[in-house]
Amino acid sequence: MSASEATRLPVVVIGAGAMGGAWLRMLADSPHAEPVGVVDLNLELAQATVASAGLDAVVGDSLVEVAERSGARAAINVTVPQAHRVVNEQALRAGLPVLCEKPLAPTVSEALRQVALADLTGELLMVSQSRRYFNHLAAFKQAVEQLGPLGAVHATFFHEDHEPGFREQMAHPLLVDMSVHHFDMLRYLSADEPVSVRCNSWNPPWSWFAGDAAATATFELASGARFVYSGSRCTPGLQSSWNADWHVYAERGAASWNGDELVIADAEGVGFEVPDRRESIEGSLEEFVSALATGITPQNEVRLNVLTLAMVEGAVLSSARGGERVDLRDLLEDSLAQAIADEQRDDVAELLRSWPSAADGISTQPWGSSPAPIAAGGAR
């Protein structure tokens, strides 16, 4: 065994579907973590996925059992969004820190219950918002930070996605499954947090999705600037990047990023460098493993991710109300009341009831010692 193999974190991957397979193939060669166990309700699928990734991992349908047998010391949750909270709870209560695929949960109230649960167990729960980890996004962020106060940020996402499965059945395949990435990227680009949203969503007549595959949303940011978003998952032609196409207009000029490798700054004296770091899920894995080693709070530690989910749920709610303005602070407080009403575990419910407000609950010191410094040119 080489030195790097000896220090790889042994992990159990839960969910061996399309994305679970992508995680396992990446982990097979990762210097940071070793996939020692794989869990899925569908055992045959889990075995086939493990074999096709060329792995020798313990396979089963019980997370606790597979974790024990394999010696896993952390969990990576790649199940469907509806299962995220239950699986995260099993892992955290078994003493395993968790890296969970986006979206953390279908609702903000379920996310708040997980904030409380993570606090109770003292284990790290981090959301893998993998689209934060793109080198050209880091370069774009450098440019944006030199432009001064924001006026407006525009992001457009137009794609033709054929991914049969839960996405094609959900009520909001764009907002809940895809825009969650772009909304999170807005929060990565600027500390100017969203406070309200107006949104309309619809399903084009030719759509192969059951739910709304298209939407427009305008968020008001704390400074008064606007984030203007439009997207669709069923647009054949003129495809944008998976990362969306971005334009920022600010006091000292403008900048754009096509979501791939083209960053443009139209402002005097604004420069940037493209870093050379691991991207996508490799980047989020690296930050997770590093957080466990150093105790530094990672981006998207569970409570830091709640506002990203509030953007999604606020947009869904606004659309259901015919485009009415939804205040994200009100949404957070309503979600806390819902979380307390739904929570079955006494210890979690008691902690939720002790919060003076949802805003307080998510602003207390997160797991770890200090927020990760965001280095110039870096993804963190």
Ligand X SMILES: NC(=O)c1ccc[n+]([C@@H]2O[C@H](COP(=O)([O-])OP(=O)(O)OC[C@H]3O[C@@H](n4cnc5c(N)ncnc54)[C@H](O)[C@@H]3O)[C@@H](O)[C@H]2O)c1
CA distance linking residue 346 with residue 343, whole number of Å: 8
Minimum distance, C-beta of residue 61 to ligand X, in the bound complex (Å):
7
Whichever of 172 and 198 has its CB closer to ligand X, that residue is 172
Residues in the chain, overall count = 380
Least distance from ligand X to the Cβ atom of residue 370, Å? 26
Torsion of CA 198, 204, 208, 214, to 10 degrees: -20
Contact between 256 and 169 under an 8 Å Cβ cutoff? The reply is no
- Please identify, using beta-carbon distances, which residue of 85 and 380 lies nearer to ligand X: 85
Residue 100 or 215: which CB sits closer to ligand X?
Answer: 100
Q: Which is nearer to ligand X, 98 or 248 (CB)?
A: 98
Query: Which residue's C-beta sits nearest to ligand X?
Result: 17
Smallest distance, ligand X to C-beta of residue 345, A: 17
- Mapped onto helix, strand or coil, the DSSP state of residue 181 is helix
Cβ nearer to ligand X, comparing 85 with 198 = 85
List contacts with ligand X (CB under 6 A). Answer: 14-20, 39-42, 45, 78-81, 83, 87, 101-102, 130, 165-166, 177
DSSP string, 2-16: -HHHHTPEEEEEE--
**Residues whose CB falls within 8 Å of the CB of residue 325, separated by 6 or more in sequence, listed in order:** 196, 197, 198, 318
Alpha helices in the chain (DSSP H): 3-6, 18-28, 43-52, 63-70, 84-93, 108-121, 135-145, 180-189, 280-294, 302-320, 328-342, 346-354, 358-361
CA distance 26 to 91: 22
Residue 62 Cβ, how far from ligand X at the closest point, in Å? 9
Judged by beta carbon, residue 79 or residue 218, the one nearer ligand X is 79
CA 308/CA 22 separation, integer angstroms: 24
> Tokens standing for 242?
């998976």
- In the complex, minimum distance from the CB of residue 269 to ligand X, in angstroms, rounded to a whole number: 35
Closer to ligand X at the Cβ: 45 or 228?
45
Max Cα distance, the chain (Å): 60
Q: How far is the CB of 188 from ligand X (least distance, A)?
A: 14
Q: Which is nearer to ligand X, 135 or 218 (CB)?
A: 135
Q: From the CB of 88, what's the least distance to ligand X, in Å? A: 10
Taking the complex as a whole, the smallest distance from the CB of residue 353 to ligand X amounts, in Å, to 28
Q: In terms of C-beta density within 10 A (0-12 exposed, 13-18 middle, 19 or more buried), how is residue 368 classed?
A: middle
Sign, Cα dihedral of 162, 163, 168, 170: negative
Supply 88's token pair.
Answer: 């995260």
Smallest gap from Cβ 79 to ligand X, in A, equals: 4
Whichever of 93 and 226 has its CB closer to ligand X, that residue is 93
